[in-house]
Structure 1
């Protein structure tokens, strides 16, 4: 076992792969744990011990993690989360998490306001952030009034049960009748308090923005804004496929206000969308964890997981200013998305080629660690079955 604390990477997919590469190259011992048996991170040249975990949504996960830490000598290690349900467990057991691990995050009293979107939107509004028009049904016959704008989308306020019945991030409905049909059909097993109805904000990838990085007590240490140009699936993306680091002062200012109110410490991404109808930048969500395209951070602000490690282990922190203009792509999903957009007439081949030329960060490819990129294609059927992509 390592003589100094290592990192517990919660996940096994491309987010975890990026974390493993950055931490292992910095000489930090790592272990992987995940609810799924297989993922690209297990094939990295930096491969490490792997532990199969109970489902993150189950009550079994936290007791299992505590036992694992005691039995395997992971006490005092740094956990790095990649999933909201992982963070929920740490938040609900905050005092125990801080005693067992080098943990940075929020207690449940604060985290619930970003975990549950029914709480997140009123909270963001109270801090002056515009939000999409949202309806919170109290029961399955409780529908928006006649003046509600359709088409609309059904989204999870809490993802835990929703994800068991559909892989889609949001479900588009054209009428009140279709809305009721989906609530009483496909989503009937999902508690109504876990669902919400939201206006459909028009706009392509150029309207989707994020502020992401490493924060200490709500203040940015190494953070930057980025435009999430393409996503998979193209309409209601579960994950970004092409992202460009670009300055946006409004996105930064609005995001800093929210993170400052939380006093948040750790890695985080705040998502927004510009509404072309009124020009407002509207709040979507805060991911108080590592996000999908986090490896874009390396050329822009540096090695974020190493910064988090140094802060929590050595209390060392050095603020960094972003360098913009870098681009990130995940080939295995971006190519199919681009083909679909070309088929629709929404993307020209020359524009796609121009967007990917000279990309400087990747979600899958790494010249020093090529095997995960090659083997991910063999894993596609497994990932479609277990994760929906």
Structure 2
């Protein structure tokens, strides 16, 4: 049996995973060069700083931690996009010291790198938003683009301006060229994805959340990201509720089976009212921001991951419909924006609280992260966006 769990990076999803594991008395160790938020949980037994997943010595650092701090045999979980890539690319070496629940990179890159993801989706007959491929800003300026569009990095993670923003919207050619040229200067044309923006906000966004074992689902459920911030395309979810979405399950199973997925995963879709299709947006093979909804809904993916890794039988459970998760501080901003637009009444907002069984940071038996979340968020915005 693994001696504990080492989580690399992450924020709210990592915090929820640590709480899930702590509830069954599994030792949790955090290794991070980013937000310290998860490390303030009482369920984290040890915290280690490192240079991050992109550092040349990332792998040797993890091997050294295992040797120096008796972590050999622990389950290693990547909590961020950069960490996912590094661990998957170094699977053979890291597996000599850790247990790892991820596929090798030659399989996983087909869902992590967006151009490959959309290529695989087309091969499998899955719908995706209209995506444009440009080799330069000059080529883009001559193209017939249907606005609005969004610009996204080829893969999450990293410290580029586009990676920090996650999504940049452009409503006309002038705004698009300015954003595109800036992104190309920052990370190169091949790393910039340009895609039509599907109309609708969080009410149109659905997710498939699951744990897979060697190409087959162990536990799964679907949810709707009913509110998000910003409200048109979410930098982060703010109010997520369990719903039944068979289309998302079918599409996700087809995609994940094609790479023999192994481990945690969340897949994002958006319903396009123009043609009635559910279109694939993104894949996150790591703990996601609303990961805490799983245990609140009765499908504890963290505890199930531990059982699966250690060969313990897993009982099939069904998620409780209507159970919700909320990121209160940001949801208040999102709700205010929707109210100004006339898309959310005060009564409906108040009633939504009755479904909330999990919070982004608050837990009655683990208060410190909720007390520090707002100051840490303000600090990150100041240092990463305003001052920089």
Q: TM-score, normalised by structure 2?
A: 0.93
**What do the CA deviations read for 1:105-124 (whole angstroms, capped 9, x no partner)?**
11111111112111110111
- Give yes or no for the alignment of 1:230 onto 2:232: no
| Cα distance in 2, alignment partners of residues 331 and 14 from structure 1 | 13
| Cα distance in 2, alignment partners of residues 386 and 59 from structure 1 | 25
Alignment partner, residue 23 of structure 1: 21
- Give yes or no for the alignment of 1:200 onto 2:192: no
Q: Alpha carbons of 1:250 and 1:165: their partners in 2 closer, same or farther (altered >3 Å)?
A: closer
The answer to whether the 8 Å contact 2:2/2:310 transfers is: no
Cα distance, 1:9 vs structure 2: 1.7
SS in 2 for 1:274: strand
SS in 2 for 1:272: strand
Alignment partner, residue 285 of structure 2: 288
* 2:271 aligned residue (271, 274, 285): 274
| Cα distance in 2, alignment partners of residues 388 and 8 from structure 1 | 30
Q: Which stretch has the larger CA shift, 320-329 or 337-346?
A: 337-346
Find runs of 4+ consecutive structure 1 residues off by over 4 angstroms: 386-389
Unmatched 5+ stretches in structure 2: none
| Cα distance in 2, alignment partners of residues 331 and 357 from structure 1 | 13
Q: Which stretch has the larger CA shift, 269-278 or 218-227?
A: 218-227
The answer to whether the 8 Å contact 1:162/1:190 transfers is: no
- Give yes or no for the alignment of 1:363 onto 2:360: yes
Alignment partner, residue 310 of structure 1: 307
Q: Which stretch has the larger CA shift, 47-56 or 140-149?
A: 140-149
Q: Please show how residues 68-87 of structure 1 align to structure 2 within 5 Å.
A: 68-87=65-84
| Cα distance in 2, alignment partners of residues 270 and 248 from structure 1 | 12
Q: Which stretch has the larger CA shift, 189-198 or 44-53?
A: 44-53
Alignment partner, residue 185 of structure 1: 182
Alignment partner, residue 256 of structure 2: 259
The answer to whether the 8 Å contact 1:150/1:174 transfers is: yes
SS in 2 for 1:96: helix
Cα distance, 1:372 vs structure 2: 1.7
- Give yes or no for the alignment of 1:34 onto 2:32: yes
The size of the alignment, in residue pairs, is 386
Cα distance, 1:272 vs structure 2: 0.4
Q: Alpha carbons of 1:243 and 1:95: their partners in 2 closer, same or farther (altered >3 Å)?
A: same
- Give yes or no for the alignment of 1:334 onto 2:331: yes
**What do the CA deviations read for 1:180-236 (whole angstroms, capped 9, x no partner)?**
222223541211110021111101212100110211123222110100111122222
| Cα distance in 1, alignment partners of residues 2 and 90 from structure 2 | 24
Q: Please show how residues 1-389 of structure 1 align to structure 2 within 5 Å.
A: 5-11=3-9, 13-36=11-34, 38-143=35-140, 146-160=143-157, 163-164=160-161, 167-185=164-182, 187-385=184-382
The answer to whether the 8 Å contact 1:12/1:32 transfers is: no
| Cα distance in 1, alignment partners of residues 384 and 248 from structure 2 | 30
Q: Alpha carbons of 1:29 and 1:278: their partners in 2 closer, same or farther (altered >3 Å)?
A: same
SS in 2 for 1:369: coil
Cα distance, 1:164 vs structure 2: 4.0
Q: TM-score, normalised by structure 1?
A: 0.93
| Cα distance in 2, alignment partners of residues 49 and 123 from structure 1 | 40
Unmatched 5+ stretches in structure 1: none
Cα distance, 1:386 vs structure 2: 5.5
